[in-house]
């Protein structure tokens, strides 16, 4: 009989036992009632898996184990029963757990499966049981994921950003979010969502015209997506909207995900400088209040491991995938100072981008890493100019790192200069940056001989996306860190719809024997538009 782990009604992480167990599906303390379809609880969005990670002799285990988060949502208050097994038929169970799915979390909840064997596919089955006294049960939701290997093994993963942006929503006549179907066909071990997981500031209308009079794009829409998000339920409704897509649901059932966030989870280009006073779409003008609601919704719907009450909103983290790969998920949004002209000569609160605490964590974590490849997963590129209108005196204001003038580092560039210099002086090798944000794909090489600031080792930055949004670009470059555009693929028109092929994701393959990393940029049909082999030093 599965152990009842008695989670409280407020969402908590469940460190469930993965001890050996056998038995039939989810035996509770008393017989369940099946009930009719309209009285049974439902798990309408199935299962998502997140933050697959190695757990080096932690949690009382004598050897390396793996862990992964299981996420789901019920349509009413319910007790969730979760079983996991190493065979798809669930002939025997590896572990079981329960938790309550409560309205305060919009019916969402997580189970953190720990003590898992590395390098294995794990099958998961979940059932929700009503709390109304009838004990009626949902249909089972099932899925599977692959745990990281503790020894050197081939690795494949995909990444991208920007889902359901610029009014291009779920369109039955254009097949839905097809990039997710294409990514699933690559059979990746996991997926990195590089931010703009939703477009809370982008309403989805029933239809909109395609460029050049090419016809009409029709959307599935919902009340929460018919306007910009202001209430907590409207922010949550943006995540529920994306989960209506069949390709995204199929992807979630088979591929573990590692999320970060950027601006559109709240509002475009938000920082302490954001002013909504003239934006007639918003009745709520407080960006701080919108950010608080958006943060709660992100915590509810991201399949992300929680860190406890003291750091419950923290997004930056390390993800260990064995001797060949470690991921450093950074947060370029939460700790930044106000968007400005970005020209300050000295470091201070106005120039924060990662912020001093996160920057110190990243420098320390990179030094500690034993992995061959250290991948920094960023929500914005380093050397591209990303404008954000103008300041009160008419000076260009900037959204990302670059200030558009090149030359010696200033403003937010000071943090990046410090980071790159620390990597060089600590002799940290094989550092690669992956990002999205700008809605086209590109391969960038940063070279000190081209740069105004020279105290760093050469490195690559790869840009992918959008996954399902308007395509834009290209952005202008900045020479502070010597950016060389090796490749870029941009749309024919700005805000090109997903019905064209200029939707992109990135794929990374690491060969266990040679230790080489191959980075490929692919369009939504799966065609490779660029590929680069990086030998390990």
Same domain, 142 and 198: no
Q: Is the pLDDT of residue 11 over 80?
A: no
Q: Is the pLDDT of residue 9 over 80?
A: no
Q: How large is the average pLDDT for residues 151-175?
A: 97
Residue closest to 465 by CA, chosen among 258, 158, 159, 160: 160
Three-state SS at 351: helix
Q: How large is the average pLDDT for residues 496-511?
A: 97
Q: Is the pLDDT of residue 473 over 70?
A: yes
Distances (CA, A) of 445 to 381, 441, 482, 489, 530: 12, 14, 8, 16, 14
Same domain, 210 and 77: no
Q: What pLDDT does 307 receive?
A: 86
Same domain, 403 and 259: yes
Q: How large is the average pLDDT for residues 500-514?
A: 97
Q: Is the pLDDT of residue 21 over 50?
A: no
348 domain-assigned: yes
Question: What is the extent of the structural domain holding 376?
Answer: 156-506
524 domain-assigned: no
CB contact set of 146 (below 8 Å; sequence gap of 6+): 52, 119, 120, 121, 122, 189, 190, 256
Same domain, 82 and 172: no
Same domain, 308 and 165: yes
| Chain segment 108-129, per-residue pLDDT in tens | 999 999 999 999 999 999 999 9
Q: Round to whole Å and give the CA distance between 248 and 409.
A: 41
Confidence of residue 35 (pLDDT cuts 50, 70, 90): low
Q: What pLDDT does 308 receive?
A: 81
Given a contact cutoff of 8 angstroms between Cβ atoms, the answer to whether 99 and 107 are in contact is no
- The CATH code of the domain that includes 118 is 2.60.40.380
Q: Round to whole Å and give the CA distance between 400 and 385.
A: 7
288 domain-assigned: yes
530 domain-assigned: no
Given a contact cutoff of 8 angstroms between Cβ atoms, the answer to whether 316 and 358 are in contact is yes
Query: What's the number of domains the chain is made of?
Result: 2
Residue closest to 383 by CA, chosen among 490, 316, 329, 461: 461
90 domain-assigned: yes
Identify the residue with better confidence: 379 or 63.
Answer: 379
Three-state SS at 314: coil
Confidence of residue 7 (pLDDT cuts 50, 70, 90): very low
Q: Is the pLDDT of residue 16 over 60?
A: no
Same domain, 452 and 490: yes
| Chain segment 230-264, per-residue pLDDT in tens | 999 999 999 999 999 999 999 999 999 999 999 99
Confidence of residue 29 (pLDDT cuts 50, 70, 90): very low
Same domain, 39 and 86: yes
Identify the residue with better confidence: 217 or 311.
Answer: 217
Percent of the chain with pLDDT over 90: 88
497 domain-assigned: yes
Q: What pLDDT does 32 receive?
A: 57
Q: How large is the average pLDDT for residues 303-315?
A: 90
The DSSP 8-state label assigned to residue 140 in this structure reads P
Q: Is the pLDDT of residue 144 over 70?
A: yes
272 domain-assigned: yes
Please give the helix or strand (H or E) that residue 421 lies within, else none: helix 413-425
Q: What pLDDT does 25 receive?
A: 45
23 domain-assigned: yes
Same domain, 142 and 284: no
H-assigned helices in 186-286:
232-242, 246-254
Q: Is the pLDDT of residue 310 over 90?
A: no
- The CATH code of the domain that includes 313 is 3.60.21.70
| Chain segment 179-225, per-residue pLDDT in tens | 999 999 999 999 999 999 999 999 999 999 999 888 999 999 999 99
Q: How large is the average pLDDT for residues 512-522?
A: 98
If you write DSSP's letter for every residue of 160-214 in order, what string do you get?
E--BS-TT----GGGTS-HHHHHHHHT--SEEEE-S--S-TT----SEEEPGGG-
Q: Round to whole Å and give the CA distance between 53 and 303.
A: 13
| Chain segment 93-112, per-residue pLDDT in tens | 999 999 999 999 999 999 99
Q: What is the mean pLDDT of the chain?
A: 92
Q: How large is the average pLDDT for residues 508-525?
A: 98
Residue closest to 72 by CA, chosen among 239, 194, 307: 239
Same domain, 84 and 193: no
Residue closest to 396 by CA, chosen among 418, 411, 417, 376: 411
Three-state SS at 83: strand
Q: Round to whole Å and give the CA distance between 412 and 423.
A: 18
Same domain, 446 and 467: yes
The domain boundary residue, chosen from 99, 123, 146: 146
Same domain, 364 and 489: yes
Task: Give the phi and the psi of residue 297 in degrees, each rounded to 5.
Answer: -65, -40
Same domain, 424 and 376: yes
Q: Is the pLDDT of residue 2 over 90?
A: no
CA-based radius of gyration for the chain: 23
Confidence of residue 14 (pLDDT cuts 50, 70, 90): very low
Q: What pLDDT does 293 receive?
A: 98
Q: What pLDDT does 96 receive?
A: 95
Confidence of residue 17 (pLDDT cuts 50, 70, 90): very low
């Amino acid at each position: 009989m599965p152990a009842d782990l008695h989670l409280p009604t407020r969402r908590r992480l469940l460190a469930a036992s993965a001890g050996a167990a056998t038995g039939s599906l989810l035996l509770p303390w008393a017989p369940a009632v099946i009930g009719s379809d309209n009285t049974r609880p439902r798990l309408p969005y199935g299962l998502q898996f997140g933050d697959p990670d190695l757990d080096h002799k932690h949690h009382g285990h004598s050897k390396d184990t793996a862990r992964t988060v299981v996420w789901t949502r019920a349509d009413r208050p319910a007790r969730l029963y979760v079983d996991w097994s190493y065979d798809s038929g669930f002939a025997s169970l590896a572990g079981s757990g329960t938790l309550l799915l409560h309205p305060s979390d919009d019916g969402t909840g997580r189970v953190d499966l720990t003590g898992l064997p590395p390098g294995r596919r794990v099958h998961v089955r979940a059932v929700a049981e009503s709390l109304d006294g009838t004990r009626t049960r949902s249909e089972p939701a099932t899925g599977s994921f692959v745990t990281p290997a503790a020894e050197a093994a081939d690795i494949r993963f995909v990444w991208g950003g920007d889902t359901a942006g610029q009014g291009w929503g779920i369109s039955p006549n254009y097949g839905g979010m097809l990039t997710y179907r294409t990514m699933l066909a690559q059979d990746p071990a996991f997926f990195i969502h590089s931010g703009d997981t939703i477009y809370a500031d982008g309403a989805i209308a029933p239809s909109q015209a395609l460029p050049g009079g090419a016809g009409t794009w029709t959307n599935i829409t919902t009340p929460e997506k018919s306007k910009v998000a202001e209430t907590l339920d409207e922010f949550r409704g943006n995540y529920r909207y994306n989960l209506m897509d069949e390709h995204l649901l199929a992807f979630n059932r088979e591929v573990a995900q590692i999320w970060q966030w950027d601006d559109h989870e709240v509002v475009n280009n938000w920082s302490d400088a954001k002013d909504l006073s003239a934006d007639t779409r918003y009745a709520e003008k407080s960006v701080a209040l919108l950010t608080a609601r958006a943060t709660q919704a992100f915590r509810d719907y991201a399949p992300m491991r929680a860190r406890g009450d003291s750091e419950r909103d923290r997004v930056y983290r390390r993800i260990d995938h064995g001797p060949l790969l470690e991921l450093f998920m950074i947060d370029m949004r939460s700790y930044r100072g106000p968007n400005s002209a970005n020209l300050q000569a000295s470091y201070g609160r106005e120039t924060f981008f990662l912020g001093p605490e996160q920057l110190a964590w990243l420098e320390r974590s990179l030094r500690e890493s034993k992995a061959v490849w250290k991948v920094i997963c960023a929500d914005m590129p380093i050397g591209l100019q990303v404008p954000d209108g103008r300041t009160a005196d008419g000076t260009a204001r900037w959204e990302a790192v670059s200030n558009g003038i090149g030359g010696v580092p200033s403003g937010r560039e000071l943090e990046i200069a410090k980071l790159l210099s620390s990597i060089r002086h600590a002799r940290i090798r094989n550092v690669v940056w992956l990002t999205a944000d700008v809605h086209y794909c590109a391969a960038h090489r940063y070279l000190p001989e081209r740069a105004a600031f020279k105290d760093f080792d050469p490195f690559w930055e790869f840009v992918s996306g959008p996954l399902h949004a308007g395509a834009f670009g290209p952005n202008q470059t900045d020479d502070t860190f010597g950016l060389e555009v090796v490749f870029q693929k941009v749309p024919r028109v700005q805000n090109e719809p997903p019905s064209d092929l200029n939707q992109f994701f990135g794929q990374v393959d690491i060969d266990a024997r040679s230790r080489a990393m191959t980075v490929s940029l692919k369009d939504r049909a799966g065609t490779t538009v660029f590929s680069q082999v990086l030998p390990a030093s």
